[in-house]
Chain A
Amino acid sequence: GAGVSQTPSNKVTEKGKYVELRCDPISGHTALYWYRQSLGQGPEFLIYFQGTGAADDSGLPNDRFFAVRPEGSVSTLKIQRTERGDSAMYLCASSSGGYTQYFGPGTRLTVL
């Protein structure tokens, strides 16, 4: 079946702009995660949704970052007033509730 999809695959923006990154999880998966991966590093947790609610947002670095999942399926990660340090690969993963997470291909964000 279809895996996790993320759009866009690449996003280039200018410092100070607003961006939205989209994640479509595997159908039926109730849990959805966002991670950020910098070059040469492992993914770092940002936020976890169970259904429509954010069950754990402790990884969001500051209030410029926000994520929603209004209908319990698609999620959008929103970054306001982007900074050059936000440049990274943003990964989305979904899970059926077990302990395995299935990752999407990621969105590579570049802030100029």
Chain B
Amino acid sequence: QKEVEQDPGPLSVPEGAIVSLNCTYSNSAFQYFMWYRQYSRKGPELLMYTYSSGNKEDGRFTAQVDKSSKYISLFIRDSQPSDSATYLCAMSLFTGNQFYFGTGTSLTVIP
């Protein structure tokens, strides 16, 4: 079993839709949770990061962490064609530790 599981999609939504992206994990010791966006053949770009459980909002993006269920989510409101990319979840045990990534979910927002 992989440490981090993520549905690879692909996910296709109309412009303006609310998008929900999710990851589950097996190691209850993970404390730091990140979401990255990766455009084709580019490096990952940090979108959101959270520590422990709870919600964090930044513009159209909301990250949620439920440590009791070992489940994290990223919500994108009013999705735009420019949001079309692969979204990677990542998590770590402590600062300085390696990141454990999901496989990424490919998202296409159709105009």
Question: Does B bind A?
Answer: yes
What does DSSP make chain A's interface, helix, strand, loop or mixed? strand
Q: How far is the CA of A12 from the CA of B76 in the complex (A)?
A: 38
Q: Which residue of chain A is the closest to B45 with respect to CB atoms?
A: A103
Q: What's the minimum C-beta distance from A65 to chain B, rounded to whole angstroms? A: 15
Chain A 80-112 interface 0/1 with B at a Cβ cutoff of 8 Å (1 = within): 000000000101010101111111111010000
Interface residues of B in 86-111 (CB under 8 A from A): 88, 90, 92, 94-96, 98-104
Q: Does chain A have a CB within 8 A of B46?
A: yes
Are A48 and B98 within 8 A (Cβ)? Answer: yes
Q: What's the minimum C-beta distance from B34 to chain A, rounded to whole angstroms? A: 7
Q: Does chain A have a CB within 8 A of B41?
A: yes
Which residues in A have their C-beta under 8 angstroms from that of B43?
A: 4, 6, 91, 103-106
B contact set with A: CB distance below 8 Å: 4, 6, 8, 32, 34, 36, 41-46, 49, 51, 88, 90, 92, 94-96, 98-104
A-B residue pairs in contact (CB < 8 Å), sample of 25: A4-B43, A6-B43, A35-B99, A35-B101, A40-B8, A40-B104, A42-B6, A42-B101, A43-B88, A43-B101, A45-B98, A45-B99, A45-B100, A48-B98, A56-B98, A89-B41, A93-B99, A97-B96, A98-B95, A100-B34, A105-B43, A106-B41, A106-B42, A106-B43, A108-B41
A contact set with B: CB distance below 8 Å: 4, 6, 31, 33, 35, 40-45, 48, 50, 55-56, 59, 89, 91, 93, 95, 97-106, 108
